[in-house]
Structure 1
Amino acid sequence: MLNRVILIGRLTKDPELRYTPSGVAVTQFTLAVDRPFTSQGGEREADFIPVVTWRQLAETCANYLRKGRLTAVEGRIQVRNYENNEGKRVYVTEVVADNVRFLESNREGGNSSGGGAMREEPSYGGGGRGNGNGNGNYTRNNQDPFSDDGKPIDISDDDLPF
């Protein structure tokens, strides 16, 4: 069986960093992901997907992600439930991320590294850890890689690997 999800979207607000009673960092944020079609009025619709990160990855996301930033998330879908104050069962569907990539450099000019990647590594009793290798240069000069809206790409046959 397989439970993997990859999303690319923009943060709807700054991530919220919290700590569990045992001291484990957890960050929650919502990713707005455009749907691949427009409504009858010609407007683009989006899905707002809750994302959760843990441990070092959570702290890194809280430090570097900001509202509106283009971000890629890889993880798994999780459905959990709890009983609210009124005694009703509430179901929550979210993405638990183990890999987050920053697809734009920081617009505020504080950190212009851009294209960073973080991955939550599996934990074997001691808790996971992330690494911030900057090998994910998906954008150049702060340009959105999907801004051409499906127009043909100008590329020669010599540039293709096949």
Structure 2
Amino acid sequence: MASFNRVILVGNLTRDPEVRYTPSGTAVCDIGIAVNERRKSSTGEWVEEVVYVDVTLWGRTAEVAGEYLTKGSPVLIEGRLRLDTWEKEGEKRSKLRVVAERMQMLGGRGAGNNINAGGRASAAGAGSGTPTPDVAPVEDFPPEDDVPF
């Protein structure tokens, strides 16, 4: 049976990022993001629910987060789920987190900057005119009537 582990989240940072380094010199940054969901309840009134998600960033992406993001910054995260397990005082504990493979800062100064886990930055949609290989220009997509669904 095939498996697929991919998460895409858009939310706001719940705290300022703090970058630390592994003994080998690789940057790592744990951030928290709040993802809001607004829906109508069965009574017809709007209800807002917030989900808090822990995210781990690595390498240049972690350094960029520490340099440019602050509490409340809007961000898009793409990555994979990972279950951390440990034992504390004889009790088994676990926590589900997202390991980011791509981060995109949203809104404000530098909007449209796209940082992936390899550390390449691009100005997708920022008017640079020359997209990087990981961002396809809009004119390369087929017209809507050519889409097979």
TM score, norm. by length of structure 2: 0.75
Alpha-carbon distance in structure 2 between the residues aligned to 1:59 and 1:81: 26
Match of 2:111 among 104, 110, 114: 114
Q: Does 1:133 pair with 2:127?
A: no
> What is the Cα deviation at residue 113 of structure 1?
2.2
* Percentage of matched positions with identical amino acids: 35
What are the equivalent positions in structure 2 for 1:86-101 lying under 5 Å apart? 86-101=89-104
In the other structure, the counterpart of 2:58 is 54
Q: Which AA in structure 2 matches 1:54?
A: W
Q: Secondary structure at the match of 1:133?
A: strand
Spell out, residue by residue over 1:7-53, the C-alpha distance to the aligned partner (whole angstroms, 9 max, x if none).
Answer: 00111111121112222211011111112425677441110000000
Spell out, residue by residue over 1:87-128, the C-alpha distance to the aligned partner (whole angstroms, 9 max, x if none).
Answer: 2221011000010001112xxxxxx2222110013xxxxxxx
In the other structure, the counterpart of 2:140 is none
Gaps of 5+ in 1: 106-111, 122-129, 138-159
The count of aligned residue pairs is 125
Note if contact 1:75-1:97 (Cα within 8 Å) is conserved in structure 2: yes
Distance 1:77 1:33, change over 3 A: same
In the other structure, the counterpart of 2:132 is none
What are the equivalent positions in structure 2 for 1:77-92 lying under 5 Å apart? 77-84=81-88, 86-92=89-95
Q: Does 1:35 pair with 2:37?
A: yes
Note if contact 1:57-1:119 (Cα within 8 Å) is conserved in structure 2: yes
Q: Which AA in structure 1 matches 2:110?
A: S
More strand by share: 2
Q: Which AA in structure 2 matches 1:114?
A: A
Note if contact 2:12-2:73 (Cα within 8 Å) is conserved in structure 1: yes
List structure 1 runs of 4+ shifted beyond 6 angstroms.
none
Q: Which AA in structure 2 matches 1:115?
A: G
Spell out, residue by residue over 1:29-80, the C-alpha distance to the aligned partner (whole angstroms, 9 max, x if none).
Answer: 1111112425677441110000000011111111111111111000000001
The alignment yields a C-alpha RMSD, in angstroms, of 1.9
